[in-house]
Amino acid sequence: MGRRVSIIGSFVFALTLVAGATAHAQQMQWLREISSGDPVDWATDVTTDTAGNVIVVGATQGALPGQTQVGFQDTFLRKYDAAGNEVWTRQFGAADGFFFFGPSVATDAVGNIYVAGLTPGAYPNSDAYLRKYDPAGTFQWAAQFGSPNTEITSAVVADGAGNVFVTGHTFGAFPGQTYGGNGLSDAFVVKLDGSGTTLWTKQYGGNDWDDPFGAGVDSAGNFYTALSHSTGGELISYTTAGTLRWRRSFGGPMGNVSDLAVAGSYVYVLSTTRNALDVLEFDQPILFRFTTGGTMVWKKKFDVGLGVVGGARARSVATDVTGEAYVTGDLFNPAPGGDAYAIRFHPDASEVWRALIDSDRDIQMAGLALGPGGILAISGALDGDLGDQSTLPSGDAFAATLSQDPTCSDTANPTGEEDGLASRPIHFYVEPGVADLSGTLHEINCTLIVPLGL
């Protein structure tokens, strides 16, 4: 398929939009590479604030411009304004160990920023940490918590009252808690107030891996997270006071939970199913929708690969108060320049649009957030591999914003000149419907490249 080409830094970055009845071009508003000059820089999470600023967190093995490298591997925190201009950058670490291990980021209602991750020091006996910054990037406080063994955080979220929840997994017992992992991991949730004081801690697990991914709160302050077990997924909710509300199992033994999002009276859980033989990693993303009362409304498997061998990884999900869901991930593609994707779903599971992200460098997605003014913030790594923490990514981090409501003048069947381009072939594939209903035919017929100069 023909496409316009634009160079950003040293790589070509193209967005191809797929829609149902009407084709649109997914608009990329801006994209920024984050590079220390070292081969290893990557973003692990992204969030926005009420002013439309984009905040990205990640790890580096070098020194970002204007910063000082502290340890072998530091954490970085960078804030962009809504137009993609860098506002400030912070880099922190310790000389005696790793400080990153998949740091997560969240903001509260007044723009304070919270970073959760793994402390430096004598890994594998390391603790979880939470750091708070004000909107100007001034460090406020740090809290450290854990067991005598290893803790690894996976998500952080703030509620409307300025409290903060950190979730992850542990291989020991938190103070006042019981370790049930039998050598495997237990899940934990810690709630702190805006001053860094721990309000309550919950630990749960059994004779299985209990690894939580994603964190969300509803308007009543109830907390939600989703776990991956060897036997399937589990959605768990606690009250604002730390009382267990309910637990719901879902999925199957070949599933891996990726993320969770809460808005209004619904919870979305993003997961990936895997081929039982694990041949060429034929994976397929699946999106679940629950009520905040724990009732499953629907689940939807969706094809992304467009014939690419190896399937797709699900990475992140976000939702708004209307129940629209946005998901991102990346493709297992044996060819150079792996692809990534973004998809928007209506509350009834019908697809609004999808954007396939093409690059001459491998793309690993690692964050997604909605912002005011119709922005969709994404982050990740180029030439990296965030899927296997035993393999360090090699490349640069990136942050970008897309439009939540793409526009394009194309029709469903372009002919002649289209957006200044010669006509191109239309490619078809079939997407499985909800609950194994008949597939939906889609077509690709509009491409938008990142604007020149980004």
Looking at residue 333, what DSSP letter applies?
Answer: -
pLDDT one-digit tens code per residue, 63-76: 999 999 988 888 99
Closest CA to 240 of 271, 267, 217: 217
Higher-confidence residue: 150 or 260?
260
Beta strand ranges found along 296-449 (DSSP E): 296-301, 312-319, 325-331, 340-345, 351-359, 363-371, 375-382, 396-403, 427-431, 440-449
Number of neighbouring beta carbons within 10 Å of residue 136: 9
- Both tokens of 90, joined, read 């912070």
Instruction: Specify whether the CB–CB gap between 11 and 434 falls below 8 A.
Output: no
Query: How is 52-103 classified by DSSP, letter by letter?
Result: --EEEEEEESS--TT----SSBEEEEEEE-TTS-EEEEEEE-BTTBB--SS-
Cβ neighbour number for residue 370 with a 10 Å cutoff: 19
Enumerate residues 6+ apart whose C-beta is below 8 A from 250. Answer: 232, 233, 234, 235, 269, 288, 296, 299
Higher pLDDT, 395 or 324: 324
Retrieve residue 306's tokens: 């467009």
- Tell me what the pLDDT averaged over the chain comes to: 76
| Nearest Cα residue to 397 out of 156, 89, 111, 15 | 89
Give the least confident one: 51-65, 141-155, 159-173, 402-416. 402-416
Tokens at residue 320, please? 């708004």
Rg, the chain, Cα only: 21
pTM (two decimals): 0.84
Q: What does the pLDDT look like over 395-450, one tens digit per residue?
A: 788 898 887 776 543 433 333 333 332 222 222 222 333 333 223 333 333 333 33
Task: DSSP letter for 27, please.
Answer: P
The share of the chain scoring above pLDDT 90, in percent, equals 38
Q: What is the pLDDT of residue 298?
A: 92
What one-character DSSP code corresponds to residue 53?
-
* Better pLDDT: 428 or 197: 197
Please tell me the predicted confidence (pLDDT) of residue 107: 97
3-state secondary structure of 250: strand
Write the pLDDT tens digit of every residue in 29-59: 888 889 888 778 889 999 999 999 999 999 8
Identify the CA nearest to 23 among candidates 444, 327, 343. Answer: 444
User: Mean pLDDT lowest for which of 57-71, 78-92, 290-304, 385-399?
Assistant: 385-399
Q: Tell whether the model's pLDDT for residue 369 goes beyond 90.
A: yes
432 prior amide bond cis, ω within 30: no
Please name which of 70, 59, 100 lies closest in space to residue 380, comparing C-alpha atoms. Answer: 59
β-bridge mates for residue 249, sequence order: 234
Which element (helix H / strand E) includes 198? Answer: strand 198-204
